[in-house]
Amino acid sequence: MAFDVALCVLVAGLALRLLTTRDLFEAVILFVSFGLALALVWVRIGAVDVALAEVALGAGVTGALLVNARRRLEQKAPEWLEAAHYRPAAAVLPALCGAFAGVAGLVALTAPRAVQPLAPRILERVPDAAATNPVTAVLLDFRAYDTLLEIGVLVAGITAVWALERGRPAVPPAATAEDEPVLAELVRWIVPLTVMTAIYLTWLGAYEPGGAFQAGALLAGAGVLMLASGFLRPYAPHSPVLRTVVAAGLFVFAAAALATVFAEGALLRYPAAGGYVWVLAIEAVLTVSIAAILAEFFVDVPSAPQQASGEQR
């Protein structure tokens, strides 16, 4: 109880400071800390799937993106780092967030109790689903079209980034591993482990907390590390390999949706016998696509480490 109260205070305090600070770098660091604290909240209320996603996506990948974005601002438009430019937002955002939290709390406290909660009804039907982990059963079976739309959003996002970056010069030469032998050694150890863990998480998603988004974010982390340390040279956005990998998740998922319409007569209703195989196959392709898209977001906000290693010489 005391721990939960302390956690709530910590999360609210971090959020407040994050929204009101005038130092963008501090805001980025606070955002990552906020993500980690929020993940603890999710663990405390038993939502381990969400906690994993929050840590990997919310704190990890988004944190790296924000660090890169700030770096880019510093290089391209340093005046935007000055407080005056976002002071109005710093006043409005906490007020909006506070109002939203207040309304949400009010609704949660005053909503009629007669409404039948969803969880027992879902748990009742999980034995018939294609996955035994209730979260995966919802995400890839009961409401698989939501997940289909989510991967669609990611593909649309990266397409927009590519469109914005149309005029950028060719990808700069990557930093070489010799520049940073210590980092290179860490990458040699950690990337294979990360890939293994991502495969494990994808497979585990059908039974226990895990799944494509968490595994994809992990894999993207490995990709970001390899890009930053020069192990991986960024693909040009028009590279057919990159485009295929990015689109594969959406295509396979959409194809599965079409196939089930013809075979079973309903969108994403899997055949009774092989549902598990369908879910696993979709999740595997999704993992790779999500990883490619997230890592590509990192590249397309022009990669800071390459610039940094250029400055050293």
Of residues 11 and 81, the one with the C-beta less far from other proteins: 81
Shortest distance, position 238 Cβ to other proteins, whole Å: 33
Which distant-in-sequence residues (6+ apart) come within 8 Å of 17 by Cβ?
30
Find out whether 184 and 229 touch, Cβ atoms under 8 Å: yes
Instruction: Annotate 245-297 with three-state secondary structure.
Output: HHHHHHHHHHHHHHHHHHHHCCCCCCCCCCHHHHHHHHHHHHHHHHHHHHHHH
- Using CB under 8 A, which residues numbered 215 to 244 contact other proteins? none
| Interatomic CA distance for residues 177 and 191, integer angstroms | 14
Query: Which one among 25, 86, 142, 203 touches other proteins, defined by CB under 8 A?
Result: 25
- Using CB under 8 A, which residues numbered 277 to 296 contact other proteins? none
Of residues 163 and 182, the one with the C-beta less far from other proteins: 182
Angle, vertex CA 201, rays to CA 200 and CA 205, nearest 5: 120
Shortest distance, position 297 Cβ to other proteins, whole Å: 22
> How many residues make contact with other proteins (CB under 8 A)?
12
Of residues 119 and 182, the one with the C-beta less far from other proteins: 182
Shortest distance, position 195 Cβ to other proteins, whole Å: 14
- Using CB under 8 A, which residues numbered 169 to 198 contact other proteins? 180, 182-183, 185-186, 189-190, 193
Shortest distance, position 143 Cβ to other proteins, whole Å: 31
Of residues 16 and 29, the one with the C-beta less far from other proteins: 29
Shortest distance, position 183 Cβ to other proteins, whole Å: 6
Of residues 30 and 282, the one with the C-beta less far from other proteins: 30
Shortest distance, position 295 Cβ to other proteins, whole Å: 19
Long-range (24+ apart) CB contacts under 8 A made by 302-308 are 302/68, 302/72, 302/168, 303/68, 303/172, 303/227, 303/228, 303/234, 304/67, 304/68, 304/71, 304/72, 305/175, 305/227, 305/228, 305/229, 306/172, 306/173, 306/174, 306/175, 306/230, 307/71, 307/75, 307/172
Site string for other proteins, 294-313 (x = CB under 8 A): --------------x--xx-
Shortest distance, position 95 Cβ to other proteins, whole Å: 29
Shortest distance, position 288 Cβ to other proteins, whole Å: 23
Of residues 165 and 185, the one with the C-beta less far from other proteins: 185
Residue 48 Cα distances to 36, 52, 193, 250, 288, angstroms? 13, 6, 21, 26, 22
Find out whether 247 and 289 touch, Cβ atoms under 8 Å: yes
Of residues 74 and 93, the one with the C-beta less far from other proteins: 74
**What's the number of CA atoms in the CB half-sphere (13 Å) around residue 312?**
10
- Using CB under 8 A, which residues numbered 95 to 154 contact other proteins? none
Residues that bind other proteins in the complex, under the rule CB under 8 A: 25, 180, 182-183, 185-186, 189-190, 193, 308, 311-312
